[in-house]
Structure 1
Amino acid sequence: MSDINKALDAADKALDASLDRLFEFLRIPSISADSAYVGDCQKAAEWAAAALRDIGFDASPRKTIGHPMVVGHRRTGKPGVPHVLFYGHYDVQPPDPLNLWHTKPFEPVRKPGPHGDIIVARGASDDKGQVMTFIEACRALIETQGELPIDVTVFLEGEEESSSRSLIPFLKENKDELKADFCLVCDTDMWDRETPAITTMLRGMVYEEVTIKAASRDLHSGMYGGAAQNPIRVLSKILAALHDDDGRVTLPGFYDGVKELPDAVKAEWAALDFDGEAYLAEVGLKVPAGEKDRTVLEQITVRPTCDVNGISGGYEGEGAKTVIAAQASAKVSFRLVAGQEPEKVQAAFRKFVTDRLPADCRAEFLSHGLGPAIAVPADSEPLAKARAALAEEWGRTAPVIGSGGSIPVVGDMQRILGIDSLLIGFALEDDQIHSPNEKYDVRSFHRGIRSWVRILDALAK
């Protein structure tokens, strides 16, 4: 039996013990957003560090301005081997509303599901179950081979679910210790139940709040209507002008730097047979509202967008009140793709608004954040090796996909540590993360362990 098969066999035989360890981890209510659980977050950090030490890592919780980080190192001592940084988080979302749970959120249970056994608990999928797939893979390799095939640093955060206020200071203060060749992140989904995926494209974000002001106070519409500027009307007209009839964003220069998907990726995506109509139908919609020459899959993952997330102004209470508001506000977000510069998009939006202001109106702006998009080069050697390893385990090619959302830590890793990330996760879209009755398929956990065994082995070759 080859070394890799010995490790896979060991992972199979140890599945029940691996589940027992996961259940121990899940029983700790490490809710980072609630100060009542500070002690439990500390306990979870200590538990994770001890689990790493148990398989030979030099690991410990590290103090921060908030909840602890966990850092663990295992070095092979071999010159020239790759060094990876594995990122995950041990904190979890609050379990509320408790009355909607079928079982107690921090008393994990294994029970039958529609596609095999599932693990039900807060954190089962996001992110303790995912973290433990990697740790258990390391355990299987070390127990059968005496060592990992590459150098590994494990870095677990304790505030991912509550704004990550300690993350950037910690990365900056420990930059030299955490530096690696690239990062592995296990906090994402598979494409479907039978197909793994690697997320290599994450959209960035520019989030602006704009307030249009006119009169010095709210006005009686019977006395001033027709003569006074109405900020709500002005704002509505500006917002409506942000898109053309084909769904394209009209900010000058907005698409500068935006590149087309490589032909090979387009071909892979076409083979995935994504049903855009069914995707919209799930939320009661029928017709895509984005760029007319783009598929729904492109619109939600790898094309830049502009959305109005909220509007306020004037009387918003029950019944009627005939006023012309003194001001009106809107929150507008732009999802960006690789090649776009957040600062330029922000400046273009502010100029777009101010250029359209009529007499007696002025605009004020508030930034709610901006960050660039992330894209791993398609010819990345670690990417190719990881895809090959996943194909060995799952019997099908893992597509390279984009995420419509933003995962700030990936950008922070690139900006502060100078390393790219591969996002490889084994969660499923029905795992109900952040909701009552969160679950993780036992099959996802088991095959996730086996997948990491293969990936770590492949990265060494």
Structure 2
Amino acid sequence: MANLDSVLACLDLNLDRSLERLSALLRIPSISTDPDYAEQCRLAAEFLAGDLGAIGFEAAVRETPGHPMVVAHHDGPEGAPHVLFYGHYDVQPVDPLDEWKTGPFEPVVSQMPDGTKRIVARGSADDKGQLMTFIEACRAFKAETGGLPCKVTIFLEGEEESGSPSLNPFLDANRDELSADVALVCDTNMWDRETPAISTGLRGLVGEEMVVRAASRDLHSGYYGGAAQNPIHVLAKILAEMRDADGGVTIPGFYDGVEEPPESVKASWRALGMSDAAFLGEVGLSVPAGEKGRSVLEQTWSRPTAEVNGISGGYTGKGFKTVIAAEATAKVSFRLVAGQDPAKIRAAFRSFVEERLPEDCSVEFHPHGGSPAIQLPFDSPLLDKARQALSDEWPKPAVMIGMGGSIPVVGEFKSRLGMESLLIGFGLGDDAIHSPNEKYEMTSFHKGQRSWARILAALGAR
């Protein structure tokens, strides 16, 4: 504990210096999706590799067909766990530029009327500010103790905001080097300003596009109406039958393997006090449309879904055209939870559609990706240590939450490296990531550093 106290004091004392280092990184416009910024992405990678090397990591900029990766290693005590920390140094484009109150790559610290401070710049929350919280915790440990409480590998990507095309080949080529006991992913949010969170589950995804065809050409609805099959009617009927009156998905076998979260976990979600009205009110809604009898947090964190994302067919231009379309198209996505097999869900959906096709109709399917859900074991000892460490730092105890969306790298760590992930971040819902005036709270930056110091100490304790 004495060592940890000195590390925390070091972080407090050097907060201004850590802010200077973050600001230097934020000034580099590392926009990965725009080829014009390729050299800036490389500069960001070199900056981070140099900074890690300066505090004793064996760090290198590693080439890929796209933007480079940064990989850094530091030994830990014998018998201590090996952790892999993941972050990304690339950022989103800044458009629309005229909505920024300050230059997107000219970081400023703004003080709000309530006295809180925030760091405003592109990448401040996503993900440069977040990844620097971990690096600063390592820096303080090195300064105060000469080492780290765990063996640490740091893996920083430069293409997260542009689809990570180089990620999987890099993981496959460097599997032994990057494999660890657990991955630490700092690209998520807290529950609120005073309550840290560990995201224990990520839903998976299956995307499908279906094209229903009937006649060989569009038909005059007066001449053929009532006699010819209308693919739009057929499509709409099939889509409507995918869910029952209680919001459940009717595809046979859809819920195979789906388990209920432990009652203790559901009780902790209820204790968060998120009402249906509060959750939906921000988007102008009030009544949950999913499975009846389940809270909105259950629906979005622990239950699978079937959603129609787009429908097209027939004449959709200005004015009016009386035709029966020759074909109609729908794009459908399924969010999956632990225990569901994406391949089986895709096959079950296709069978569901084919069994409902009338005579004279055919269907063609086009897949759009598929990945399984990720669920950290609720009884993981690493999870307990991290949760206690966070609770020791913040005003309110840490909570375990789910995520309705996906973080692809977490699934790749699981499938390619056989490694579970702890998702711990210090962002807030109003940080405006991907939008003008992105910000990162100074409290998130400061207490994020202290949180990682506590977590590293807890994971390394024996």
* TM-score for the superposition, normalised by structure 2: 0.99
- Match for residue 29 of structure 1? 29
Counterpart secondary structure, 2:161: helix
Q: How does 1:36-435 map to 2 (within 5 A)?
A: 36-76=36-76, 78-113=77-112, 116-435=116-435
Offset, 1:220 = 1.1
Offset, 1:24 = 0.4
* TM-score for the superposition, normalised by structure 1: 0.99
Offset, 1:278 = 1.2
Q: Does structure 1 retain, via aligned residues, the 8 Å contact 2:276–2:287? A: no
What letter is aligned with 1:4?
Answer: L
Offset, 1:114 = 5.1
Q: Does structure 1 retain, via aligned residues, the 8 Å contact 2:309–2:331? A: yes
Structure 1 stretch 108-117 or stretch 317-326: which is displaced more?
108-117
Counterpart secondary structure, 1:272: coil
User: Matched residues in 1 for 2:57 and 2:254: separation?
Assistant: 47
* Residue-by-residue CA offset, 1:78-117 (whole Å, 9 max, x unaligned): 3211000000000000010111111110111111135501
What letter is aligned with 1:276?
Answer: D
Counterpart secondary structure, 1:338: coil
- Match for residue 15 of structure 1? 15
* Residue-by-residue CA offset, 1:157-195 (whole Å, 9 max, x unaligned): 011011100000000000011010010000000000100
* Residue-by-residue CA offset, 1:316-346 (whole Å, 9 max, x unaligned): 1111011111100000000000011111100
User: Matched residues in 2 for 1:166 and 1:297: separation?
Assistant: 34
What letter is aligned with 1:61?
Answer: V
User: Matched residues in 2 for 1:203 and 1:400: separation?
Assistant: 15
Offset, 1:39 = 0.5
What letter is aligned with 1:164?
Answer: S
Question: What is the CA RMSD across the aligned residues, in angstroms?
Answer: 0.9
Offset, 1:276 = 1.9
Q: Does structure 1 retain, via aligned residues, the 8 Å contact 2:11–2:450? A: yes
What letter is aligned with 2:211?
Answer: T
Q: Does structure 1 retain, via aligned residues, the 8 Å contact 2:42–2:67? A: yes
Offset, 1:395 = 3.9
Change (3 A) 1:114 1:123: farther
Offset, 1:301 = 1.5
Q: How does 1:428-443 map to 2 (within 5 A)?
A: 428-443=428-443
User: Matched residues in 2 for 1:330 and 1:389: separation?
Assistant: 47
User: Matched residues in 2 for 1:275 and 1:121: separation?
Assistant: 33
* Residue-by-residue CA offset, 1:93-148 (whole Å, 9 max, x unaligned): 00101111111101111111355010110000000000000000100111001100
User: Matched residues in 2 for 1:343 and 1:285: separation?
Assistant: 33
Offset, 1:268 = 1.1
What letter is aligned with 2:409?
Answer: V
Structure 2 residue runs of 5 or longer lacking an equivalent are none
